[in-house]
Amino acid sequence: MKLHIERAAVDTLMIRLFDRIEEGNMPWLLAASQQLRRQFGDQLIDLVPSYTTLMLHYDLRQLDEITARQLITTALAGLQPLPPEHAGREHEIAVWYDISVGPDLERLSGLTGLSVSQVIALHSDHEYQVFALGFAPGFAYMGLLDERLAAPRLATPRKRVPAGSVAIAERQTAAYPLASPGGWNLVGRTPAPLFDRNRDGYSMLRPGDRVRFVPVEHAEFVRLGGDDTPVSGDA
């Protein structure tokens, strides 16, 4: 880990800790995030972790930039990564893998030379890290996907990807909390409520959390509250 602080806006600093995307970054980013929240207290407006950085938006009425930089340096002095048991939570997310809700399973099979059942097995047989949330509320970028499954985004994004869709792009995977446009390869659907504005904490997944996808049959998917409406072909 290194520490490099850049100006991003009149009241925002970018804290760069790493140069590359690695699963091992997350315990450091989480530890840094905790220390910064403690150090800034109510002078912090927003702290946005991503793969290698933390973007810190502070209250410019309470702090000038020099003081904000000093607070960051103080907060991160002697930083140690969070131990695994404190580095995020573990989740098991039920997924119904099926062509009707995962219409790109066959495309992935064609691109990778694997059978559809091998694609499903490789996707579900791995613990993923949440690197960042973005794109939409509760949308978690997770990785790293097995290299054999890596596939480019669709040339033309779908106008509407249904809520709960589980998807793959390059070496990352994600689940869409809300229906939205999207260009990732759809492999299945989860009934899990990924973002709920009435739940404490709102988002099921947070940066640093670890996720396993658990294949379930159609009946179980529906029992858990899943919507089995097929992805429409013209969407």
Neighbours of 230 (CB within 10 A): 12
46 scored as a contact of other proteins (CB under 8 A) = yes
Nearest approach, Cβ of 216 to other proteins (angstroms)?
26
Angle at 140 between CA 136 and CA 141, to 5 degrees: 110
State the binding string over 48-77 for other proteins (x if CB under 8 A, else -): xxxxxxxx-x--xx--xx------------
144 scored as a contact of other proteins (CB under 8 A) = no
46 vs 85 by CB, closer to other proteins: 46
Q: Closest by alpha carbon to 54, among 63, 143, 39?
A: 39
Ramachandran assignment for 175, one of left (phi > 0), alpha (psi -120 to 50 degrees), beta (any other): beta
Can you read off the two tokens belonging to residue 226? 């899943």
- Bridge pairing between strands 185-189 and 180-182: unpaired
Contact stretch for other proteins (CB under 8 A) within 14-22, 69-77, 103-111, 148-156: 14-22
State the binding string over 173-202 for other proteins (x if CB under 8 A, else -): -----x-x--------------x-x----x
On whether the CB atoms of residues 111 and 151 are closer than 8 A, the answer is yes
51 vs 222 by CB, closer to other proteins: 51
On whether the CB atoms of residues 190 and 174 are closer than 8 A, the answer is no
Residues that bind other proteins (CB under 8 A): 6-12, 14, 20-21, 33, 45-55, 57, 60-61, 64-65, 132-141, 178, 180, 195, 197, 202-203, 206-207
